[in-house]
């Protein structure tokens, strides 16, 4: 056994989170793709069966009240809130990330008011965020200005209405400085919208602490909510009375069953709702979030950094020099919970890794992505994955 393999065993033995692995449905595969789709929490199948057979099958329409279906969006939002550093009453769950980006961005422009007619968007953003930003700009009469996150402070001005940023870059795993960038946007009198898809559940976010205005995120990555599980929208409490959603629906009406022709928004974060919630996937998500009971995000972050440090150490030791280039920052303050490696033939390399029991993913043209979910990934998994990677590249 190599020195790194021996050390991996010792690190796993000392890991306070190691028991959480048993809360997931896993096999012998090394699963390093939780930054795309989290593993299945073991409690979910039974809960979904109850929702389908009893709540829907037996109670039927009564479940909107008796099973708590009607309050699920805000109730589950309050379960997510501690994971992103938010007090209760500020997050509503529902719709997709794309839809929530649209709500948040247009809502931010409307709050900014007259004279502010420019939207700044992360130039390295996930494509959909860029598409939504471009559409929101056209619909609100704003100019769209793509800017690299590090250059955002110098790009802000009196015309800036809203800024859309990713907390973690989906390709490289670079963690952007949310506190400093939020302060810069506020200093220019504008509103900031943060996309937390690649940070929620992997590291502390501190939405309330840092005065973030609006935030969105998916729940199927590090939150393990399942494929296509509903996203969420955060609206800071102080802004809720001013938040004017571009998608008003009967579910966000102050009197949803009044069936009035005129729209009056519900108080608080509820005005972020639109239509009838997707109950099956929403309650699967609620069950999945139980794996977080008693788990401090700070402990998850500490293990995430230890795992990615160990992964990079194993790459240095095992992978032939010059075969892979790390794109992820080495500094802890600039790293999310994934490592991106550039190599020739990356698409074919990832296919062979999957065949050999190591699952990551590939981003064109030449990037291998490995995501580290501390609740179920261990150090022996990391050492094994890099050994297989070295053989594949070698």
The catalytic residues are 126, 195, 220-221, 369
For residues 252 and 272, is the Cβ–Cβ distance under 8 A?
yes
* Helix, coil or strand: residue 369: strand
Distances (CA, A) of 246 to 108, 272, 278, 344, 351: 10, 10, 20, 45, 42
Tokens of 144: 């769209």
User: Residues near 370 by Cβ (< 8 Å), separated by ≥ 6?
Assistant: 32, 33, 311, 338, 339, 340, 341, 360, 385
For residues 274 and 95, is the Cβ–Cβ distance under 8 A?
yes
For residues 285 and 76, is the Cβ–Cβ distance under 8 A?
yes
Spatial distance between the Cα atoms of 245 and 114, rounded to a whole number of angstroms = 17
Spatial distance between the Cα atoms of 348 and 218, rounded to a whole number of angstroms = 28
Spatial distance between the Cα atoms of 287 and 299, rounded to a whole number of angstroms = 21
Strand (E) positions, 94-189? 118-122, 143-147, 160-166
Phi, psi of 361 (to 5 degrees): -150, 175
Question: Is the torsion defined by CA of 263, 267, 269, 273 positive or negative?
Answer: negative
Spatial distance between the Cα atoms of 186 and 160, rounded to a whole number of angstroms = 10
DSSP, res 320: P
Spatial distance between the Cα atoms of 322 and 86, rounded to a whole number of angstroms = 44
Spatial distance between the Cα atoms of 177 and 326, rounded to a whole number of angstroms = 20
First to last CA, the chain: 20
Spatial distance between the Cα atoms of 197 and 129, rounded to a whole number of angstroms = 11
Spatial distance between the Cα atoms of 169 and 126, rounded to a whole number of angstroms = 8
């Amino acid at each position: 056994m190599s020195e790194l393999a021996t050390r991996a065993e010792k690190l796993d033995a000392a890991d306070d989170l190691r028991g959480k692995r048993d809360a997931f449905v896993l096999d012998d595969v090394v699963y390093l793709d939780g930054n795309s789709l989290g593993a299945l929490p073991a409690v979910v199948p039974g809960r979904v069966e109850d929702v389908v057979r009893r709540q829907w099958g037996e109670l039927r329409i009564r479940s909107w009240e008796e099973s708590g279906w009607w309050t699920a969006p805000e109730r589950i939002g309050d379960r997510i809130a501690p994971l992103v550093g938010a007090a209760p009453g500020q997050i509503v769950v529902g719709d997709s990330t794309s839809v929530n980006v649209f709500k948040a961005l247009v809502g931010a422009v409307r709050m900014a008011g007259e004279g502010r007619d420019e939207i700044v968007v992360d130039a390295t953003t996930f494509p959909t965020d860029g598409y939504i930003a471009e559409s929101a700009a056209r619909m609100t009469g704003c100019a769209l200005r793509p800017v690299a996150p590090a250059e955002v402070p110098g790009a802000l001005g009196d015309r800036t209405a809203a800024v859309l940023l990713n907390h973690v870059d989906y390709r490289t795993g670079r963690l952007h400085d949310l506190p400093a960038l939020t302060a810069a946007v506020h200093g220019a009198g504008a509103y900031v919208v943060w996309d937390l898809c690649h940070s929620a559940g992997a590291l502390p976010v501190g939405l309330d602490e840092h005065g973030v205005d609006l935030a969105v995120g998916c729940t199927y990555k590090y939150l393990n909510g399942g494929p296509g599980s509903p996203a969420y929208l955060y609206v800071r409490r102080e802004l809720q009375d001013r938040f004017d959603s571009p998608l008003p629906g009967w579910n966000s009406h102050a009197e949803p069953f009044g069936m009035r022709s005129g729209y009056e928004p519900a108080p608080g974060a509820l005005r972020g709702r639109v239509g009838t919630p997707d109950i099956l996937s929403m309650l699967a998500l609620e069950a999945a979030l139980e794996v977080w009971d008693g788990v401090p995000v700070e402990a998850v972050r500490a293990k995430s950094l230890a795992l990615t440090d160990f992964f990079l150490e194993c790459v240095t030791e095992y992978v032939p020099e010059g075969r892979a280039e790390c794109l992820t920052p080495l500094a802890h303050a600039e790293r999310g919970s994934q490592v991106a490696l550039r190599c020739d033939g990356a698409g074919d390399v990832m296919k062979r890794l999957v065949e050999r029991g190591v699952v990551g993913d590939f981003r064109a043209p030449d990037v291998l992505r490995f995501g580290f979910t501390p609740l179920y990934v261990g150090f022996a998994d990391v050492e094994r994955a890099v050994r297989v990677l070295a053989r594949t590249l070698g």
